[in-house]
Each structure stands twice: as C-alpha cells, then as structure tokens.
Amino acid sequence: MLALQVLVNGILLGGLYGLMALGMSLIWGVMNIVNIAHGALIMLGAYVTFWLFTLWGWDPFVSLPATIVLLFVYGYCLQRFLLNLIVRAQLFLTLLITFGVEVVIPMLGPASL
C-alpha cells in the first residue's frame, strides 16, 4: 500500500515539475524572455491558495479560481507595464529585470508581515 502511495505521489510531483518546465519553455520560446521569476510566481500562487485556506477556511480546490484570477491580474500588470518595455531588449536586460521581480515577489508574502 505504501509503495502505491509513493508511486502516485511521484507521478503527481513529476507532473507538477513538467508543467512548470512547460510554462518556462513556452515563455522563453514565444516571447524570447528568460523569466527567472517564474518559480517565484508559482510559489506566490501556492501561498495565495495556502492563505485563503488558512485565514478564510476555503478548501484549496475551491480557492483555485480565486487564485487564478488574482495571479492573472498580477501577471497581466507585470507583463503590460514592465516586461513589454524590454521585449526587444538584450538578453542580459531581460535577465536583470526578471531577477529583480524575483527578488521583490517574496516581499509580498508572509515573511514581510
């Protein structure tokens, strides 16, 4: 029974890693921006879902639509007002800007409280 649970957990974790890699490669392939903040944005989504569960008692599966909407708005604003300014810039500048976003995102989380 334990081996089956470990197998299912491994498949689910591998699927999660695959989705993260797919998102990263899609952004790099389509927009030619190496988004170093990709992992930080994924963790921000996890924290939003966690805090909706902890503070308001929402089931994590019920809070997913709210998390999706919140992070869509955040990502849209990030893309529209920051990343569109550097789409045609050199690779080093895109790395620098997305690294700066990655540094700033944890300041939005619970560690800043």
Give yes or no: residues 82 and 45 share one domain: yes
User: Per residue in 11-28, pLDDT tens?
Assistant: 999 999 999 999 889 888
pTM: 0.80
Give yes or no: residues 37 and 83 share one domain: yes
Give yes or no: residues 36 and 21 share one domain: no
As for how many domains the chain has, the answer is: 2
Give yes or no: residues 38 and 23 share one domain: no
Around Cβ 43, how many Cβ atoms within 10 Å? Answer: 14
CA dihedral 64→69→73→75, nearest 10 degrees, is: 40
Give yes or no: residues 45 and 6 share one domain: no
- The residue segments making up the domain with residue 13 are 1-27
Give yes or no: residues 23 and 54 share one domain: no
Give yes or no: residues 90 and 44 share one domain: yes
Give yes or no: residues 22 and 37 share one domain: no
Give yes or no: residues 52 and 107 share one domain: yes
Give yes or no: residues 46 and 69 share one domain: yes
Give yes or no: residues 75 and 96 share one domain: yes
User: Using CA atoms, how far apart are residues 56 and 109, in angstroms rounded to an integer?
Assistant: 17
User: Per residue in 81-112, pLDDT tens?
Assistant: 988 888 788 888 888 888 998 998 888 765 55
